[in-house]
Structure 1
Amino acid sequence: MKMKRQILKSVFFALTGTLLFSCESDLEITPNNPAVFLSDEYFARPDAYVAGLAGVYGNLALTGTEGPGSSNIGGIDAGTSQYGRCLLYLQSLATDEMLWSYENDAGVREIQRNIWTAENPIVRGMFSRAQFQIALCNEFLRQSTPDLVASRNPQNAAEIPAYRDEIRVLRALAYYHLMDMFGKAAFNTEDQPVAVAGVQYDRQQLFNYIESELLAVLPALKAPRTNQSGRLDAAMARMILAKMYLNAEVYIGQQKYNECVTQLEAIIAGGYSLAPNYLANFAADNNTSPEMIFAIQSDGVVTQNFGPTTVMINGSVGSLEANGESLGVGPGGWGGAIRLRRQFVEKFNGAQFDNDVRNTIISGSRPIDITDVINRDQGFILAKYSNKTSSGANGSNQTFVDTDFPLFRLADVYLMYAECFLRGASNATASNALNYVNLLRERANGNNLQNITASQLTLDFILDERARELHWEAHRRQDLIRYGRFTGGSYNWAWKGNAQNGIAIGAFRSVYPIPVLAIAANPNLTQNPGY
């Protein structure tokens, strides 16, 4: 944990000491006063560039400059504007994976019942936080041109081109999330002046831009697993490309499974390996996992925030079980905040999953069905994430956890490869696809007793296996949309469409609305159909 804490301290000091931003309106989510930060005066400091880099990374984890309750997105709760938490809510809470007990929390009821509007604060939080990240990246790039760097003669000057490449990838990640969840974004780069309203880019334009940016910087990025802990490398950039190519039919109406496999094979060749213990990927020291490609960092002392892992671990504690100590938090946690919908639980039905380490479902005396959302004693609970280290020690804080939130890991690469093979990628092989899936099955069961055969490797199997392997990692909505099972009524889950047993929802909900305040602030933005 020592190395991670050193990096996170850099993030903390960058945000509290220099990132003096405020987004009181949604006007492009740009610095309220750029002269305060990322300015000539600021960059006169010898350590300014490394601190600025840490600050841009830090925006993925932190929400403000005054602790976990502060937000630099104006007019919104801190937790509702945390990058990873918004991502989790929009990609997982809106699906069959989880249900939140406290529906008085702003925006939650509408998200988990699939009845959100353009005024939903969680939708606004995600859109605003991603656009804010883009604004941070743009300003760093404006202030780090070769001429400006030469005139300032900072420390680590030779490293600043590498910083710029990483910043471009972080910007591409934000644009990727906007493309995936909203289908459009206000587009700005460092070439436009600060506070100029960005033009609207649709999915095709965003896809083309993100792809070109990532391909341009890939040759200069550090090789996989060679960068400083917490910073991205070439494998992370390739993961964004692979995700785009896997979902290209949704985004731009074109198949790009061969291109996806090319990126996946490069990642697999990058030296990653499966963690021997699946649950080590979700422990307080999961930054040491050999399969972690990129994660949103968390530390219970120096970067306290109400991010996704703090939410999930405290929220996993059952109202009946009071099992918080086993998860490294207070005994009562958050009193049964998160429970499981029946349809997810059923993905582990059958004796073959009795000894599957991915099956951390706790049923106890609980009913499987949730007939009353606010009744925290209904519905099973989960113990996947933990604030204990792999050796069983507690994290540094028993509320704010040390557990990083995994955005990309090797297990996902294996499952994506198998799916591409099944969808017709000519450069994927049947033997590799089957082997990659069975490596995950062997890891989950400690032997090969639950390996599948070639005839069992189907697209439906992959969708369910992705749920078993990757649940609560912010992939499910995207997966269901790719399979045509998110909107419509071909697959319903409890409380989908605001009905206890689930009902069809309109196709327009395959993207989220553009927040009303964003449209009011930027006349270039238009609302998505249906909202």
Structure 2
Amino acid sequence: MKMNFIKKLILIVPACLSLIACHDDLDQTPIDPDSFTEANVFANAQEAKGALAKLYASLALTGQQGPAGQPDISGIDEGTSQYSRMLFSLNELTTDNAVVGWGDPGLPNLHAMDWGASNDFTTGMYYRLAQEVSFCNSFISNAMALSGDPEVDAYIAEARFLRAFAYYNLMDLYGNVPLVTQVTTELPEQANRDMIFEFVEQELLEIQDNLKASGSNEYGRVDEVAAWALLSRLYLNAETWIGQPKYAEAVNYSQQAINSTYSINTSDANGNGSAYDELFLADNNSNGAQNEFIFAINFDGNQSKTYGGTTFLVHAAIGGSMDASEFGVNGGWEGLRTTKELVNNFDYAVTATDEDGNPVEWADERAMFYTDGQSLEISTIANTFTDGYAVTKFKNIDSQGNAGSDEAGNFVDTDLPLIRLAEIYLNYAEASLRGGGGDLATATGYINELRERAFGDDSGNITSSELDLDFILAERARELYWEGMRRTDLIRYDLFTSGSYLWPFKGGTRGGMAVADFRRLFPLPSNLLTVNPNLTQNDGY
């Protein structure tokens, strides 16, 4: 069993902080920064540290009891409402990376790209992120009474990072949202995307020197590199979000993160010839993968139970003839598969095909697909798990093949990286190609480092002349699929809504079709607009 800062302190978070922003009915009482109040005053640094754990835990868990009961957010299935599960739903299920066969209200609409303002998933994600902002505002306000203590100052910087991260997500997903930085009961005005961008940027720039030095914080807590890495991602998307290219800044902060103590995991702890799979195993907090994780959500099958997180990613991806015990769990939920478009990104590395000519083996170890009994083509999404290849990327076994700590096999130990160094390598290369300066040979070297891990040798290496933007997008798909970034990437490449790139059931048709550009943003929750007349709905909804 693995225990760390977050998992230990989840159990002792002050009750008054834990229960804030819980309402009986999400549809009647939106959970949002404008409705958040907190009166608790922290007595000392240790109490502040306990409260800080709640801010991290709010991204990992869903309520006060776990895995269900006393939810932080009502009106939506509690397991569904977990942050990274909703991130997957909004940023992966809406793309070529994933489909799901379940018929939960609002879920089929995501892949069909026809969601509305009352969709459970777009609504639930807004309130989850707004709750995180609320918790962070309360923590910062109360912890300021202890400011001057170096440890507490670092806690405050971490809280500001988590708040900036929440606003980064809100800006990406919803565009114009309320910007609230203090505890208040006033209905806020709507800030535009430029204002949110500037806020996130300034917060990260201001806190970088107050966060712990690279690699010096406890596992599970962010340090200065997290600020640099999020700035790298922010600047890479700046032209899309605010119409201002900031690729030079993206190169700069990518390089700072790359030059830190973090490193690409090359450890093959299980001796299977691949270090990539170590990133997604139950001991990824200790098998070497942790050295690549700049910001991760931590899970423990006994101490932090949820039906979201990696419990969702492991169970939901198992079905058909797959053996759940090989994944360290007690059964599959027969939901998640992928489309042929993701599989086709690995065409260059195919080493074996079936009798119909469909790929079944690849030299690139990142092609983690289960093909036995699965069809490459998807005829129907609903209730047909064998339509589409299954994905075996996430497992609840450690590097030695042992199952996770939950003996019943229900809940998963595997931590989930939200930012890892491999992404920053790709950010550097893309920003360089988009005119941000940088060095093409250096960028090629970073890409080849990732590909050498994937191939086990240099047989997959490329030359600088082969490195272009299309290659980077395909490489991001190969390296980062199911990690919550695909929608953002496709929007940046102007491919998310357009007819120039189609995938099965995009727009609700089997062959795929273009959809209206307003789908680049999700709608603000319809009930939020009822509560706060200061807000204007996004175009098209």
TM-score category (smaller protein): over 0.9
After superposition, residues 110-259 of structure 1 pair within 5 angstroms as 110-145=109-144, 148-149=145-146, 157-190=149-182, 193-259=183-249
**2:356 counterpart residue number:** none
2:210 aligned partner, one-letter code: A
How far apart, CA to CA, are the structure 2 residues paired with 1:45 and 1:380? 53
**1:378 counterpart residue number:** 387
For residue 45 of structure 1, report the CA deviation from its aligned partner.
7.3
For residue 351 of structure 1, report the CA deviation from its aligned partner.
3.8
Check 1:46–1:365 CA distance in 2 against 1; reply closer, same or farther (3 A cut): closer
How far apart, CA to CA, are the structure 2 residues paired with 1:301 and 1:139? 29
- What whole-Å deviation, never above 9, does each CA across 1:395-435 have from its counterpart, x for those lacking one? 11222111111111111111111111111112x00110110
State the secondary structure of the residue aligned to 1:286: coil
Partner residue of 2:522 out of 498, 512, 515: 512
- What whole-Å deviation, never above 9, does each CA across 1:130-165 have from its counterpart, x for those lacking one? 1110011111111122xx338xxxxx9541111111
Check 1:216–1:91 CA distance in 2 against 1; reply closer, same or farther (3 A cut): same
Task: Flag structure 2 segments of 5+ consecutive residues without an equivalent.
Answer: 267-274, 352-361
For residue 9 of structure 1, report the CA deviation from its aligned partner.
2.3
- What whole-Å deviation, never above 9, does each CA across 1:448-491 have from its counterpart, x for those lacking one? 01111122111111101100000000010000000010012111
How far apart, CA to CA, are the structure 2 residues paired with 1:2 and 1:388? 13
Q: Contact 2:317 / 2:337 at 8 angstroms: preserved in 1? A: yes
State the secondary structure of the residue aligned to 1:80: coil
Task: Give the TM-score normalised by the residue count of structure 2.
Answer: 0.91
State the secondary structure of the residue aligned to 2:255: helix
State the secondary structure of the residue aligned to 2:59: coil
How far apart, CA to CA, are the structure 1 residues paired with 2:345 and 2:16? 47
Q: Contact 2:117 / 2:525 at 8 angstroms: preserved in 1? A: yes
Greater shift, 387-396 or 165-174, is seen at 387-396
How far apart, CA to CA, are the structure 1 residues paired with 2:177 and 2:29? 13
For residue 106 of structure 1, report the CA deviation from its aligned partner.
2.9
After superposition, residues 49-64 of structure 1 pair within 5 angstroms as 49-64=48-63
For residue 195 of structure 1, report the CA deviation from its aligned partner.
2.2
Check 1:26–1:218 CA distance in 2 against 1; reply closer, same or farther (3 A cut): farther
Q: Contact 1:489 / 1:503 at 8 angstroms: preserved in 2? A: yes
The reply on whether 1:491 has 2:501 as its aligned counterpart is: yes
Q: Contact 1:28 / 1:198 at 8 angstroms: preserved in 2? A: no
The reply on whether 1:414 has 2:425 as its aligned counterpart is: yes
For residue 350 of structure 1, report the CA deviation from its aligned partner.
3.5
For residue 213 of structure 1, report the CA deviation from its aligned partner.
1.0
State the secondary structure of the residue aligned to 1:133: helix
Q: Contact 1:27 / 1:197 at 8 angstroms: preserved in 2? A: no
Task: Flag structure 1 segments of 5+ consecutive residues without an equivalent.
Answer: 151-155
Q: Contact 2:425 / 2:447 at 8 angstroms: preserved in 1? A: yes
Q: Report % sequence identity.
A: 39
How far apart, CA to CA, are the structure 2 residues paired with 1:74 and 1:449? 52
Q: Contact 1:27 / 1:522 at 8 angstroms: preserved in 2? A: no
For residue 18 of structure 1, report the CA deviation from its aligned partner.
4.7
**1:285 counterpart residue number:** 283
Task: Give the TM-score normalised by the residue count of structure 1.
Answer: 0.93
Tell me how many residue pairs correspond in the alignment. 512
- What whole-Å deviation, never above 9, does each CA across 1:24-43 have from its counterpart, x for those lacking one? 444452597846xx514xx3
How far apart, CA to CA, are the structure 2 residues paired with 1:15 and 1:362? 44
State the secondary structure of the residue aligned to 1:408: strand
The reply on whether 1:29 has 2:19 as its aligned counterpart is: no
How far apart, CA to CA, are the structure 2 residues paired with 1:166 and 1:456? 40
**1:300 counterpart residue number:** 301
Greater shift, 194-203 or 481-490, is seen at 194-203
How far apart, CA to CA, are the structure 1 residues paired with 2:231 and 2:99? 31
Partner residue of 2:400 out of 381, 391, 404: 391
**1:19 counterpart residue number:** 18
How far apart, CA to CA, are the structure 2 residues paired with 1:15 and 1:91? 33
Check 1:270–1:66 CA distance in 2 against 1; reply closer, same or farther (3 A cut): same
State the secondary structure of the residue aligned to 1:219: coil
State the secondary structure of the residue aligned to 1:241: helix
State the secondary structure of the residue aligned to 1:66: coil
How far apart, CA to CA, are the structure 1 residues paired with 2:371 and 2:507? 25
- What is the aligned-residue RMSD (CA, Å)? 1.9
Q: Contact 1:88 / 1:308 at 8 angstroms: preserved in 2? A: no
How far apart, CA to CA, are the structure 1 residues paired with 2:326 and 2:14? 33
Q: Contact 1:80 / 1:121 at 8 angstroms: preserved in 2? A: no
How far apart, CA to CA, are the structure 1 residues paired with 2:137 and 2:36? 15
1:380 aligned partner, one-letter code: Y
Check 1:199–1:12 CA distance in 2 against 1; reply closer, same or farther (3 A cut): farther
Partner residue of 1:478 out of 488, 512, 515: 488
State the secondary structure of the residue aligned to 2:231: helix
Check 1:296–1:421 CA distance in 2 against 1; reply closer, same or farther (3 A cut): same
How far apart, CA to CA, are the structure 1 residues paired with 2:209 and 2:149? 20
Q: Contact 1:15 / 1:65 at 8 angstroms: preserved in 2? A: no
For residue 337 of structure 1, report the CA deviation from its aligned partner.
1.1
For residue 443 of structure 1, report the CA deviation from its aligned partner.
0.5
1:29 aligned partner, one-letter code: D
1:364 aligned partner, one-letter code: D
The reply on whether 1:369 has 2:368 as its aligned counterpart is: no
**1:402 counterpart residue number:** 413
State the secondary structure of the residue aligned to 1:406: strand
After superposition, residues 415-434 of structure 1 pair within 5 angstroms as 415-426=426-437, 428-434=438-444
Check 1:136–1:83 CA distance in 2 against 1; reply closer, same or farther (3 A cut): same
1:175 aligned partner, one-letter code: Y
How far apart, CA to CA, are the structure 2 residues paired with 1:115 and 1:16? 40
For residue 46 of structure 1, report the CA deviation from its aligned partner.
7.4
How far apart, CA to CA, are the structure 2 residues paired with 1:15 and 1:357? 44
1:298 aligned partner, one-letter code: F
